[in-house]
Amino acid sequence: MKYTKDHEWLRVEGDLVVVGITEHAATQLGDVVFVELPEVETMVTTGDEVVVIESVKAASDILAPLDGEIVDVNQKLVDSPALVNEDPTGAAWFFKMRIDDLSVLDDLMDEDEYADLIG
């Protein structure tokens, strides 16, 4: 897995990148009560707002970590937003995207670098 400074994780599956939030981010949010996902086939640019998450504490946005196309979303999160708290790095992925060049993932943090970030 790779990580962003915005507490997103990215995992390569074939030619797609799966994106979710880290356990640290899920804990900081508190109990998630609502998730709004992007439309499939949406083209995004790094930094675009892609997902809206509402918890008992606050509303947050998930930003596109890379340029690419949203090709799948995790509809289970709309029906069961608590999955974000229960399994943030597994069943609670938010979206899958296709990017032009997987080598851009090399610029992101690995697990040790992310652990240092969250201290």
pTM over 0.75: yes
Given CA atoms 42, 47, 48, 49 in this order, what sign does their dihedral have?
positive
For the cut 90, the answer to whether the pLDDT of residue 86 exceeds it is yes
Domain total for the chain?
1
**pLDDT at residue 58 in the model:** 87
pLDDT tens digit sequence for 37-67? 999 999 999 999 999 999 998 899 999 999 9
Q: Please work out, in degrees rounded to the nearest 5, the angle formed at the alpha carbon of residue 100 by the alpha carbons of 23 and 105.
A: 35
| Phi, psi dihedrals of residue 76, rounded to the nearest 5° | -60, -30
Alpha-carbon gap, residue 23 to 37, rounded angstroms: 19
Domain span at residue 96 reads: 2-101+109-118
CATH code at 81? 2.40.50.100
Please, are residues 47 and 61 in contact by the beta-carbon 8 Å criterion? no
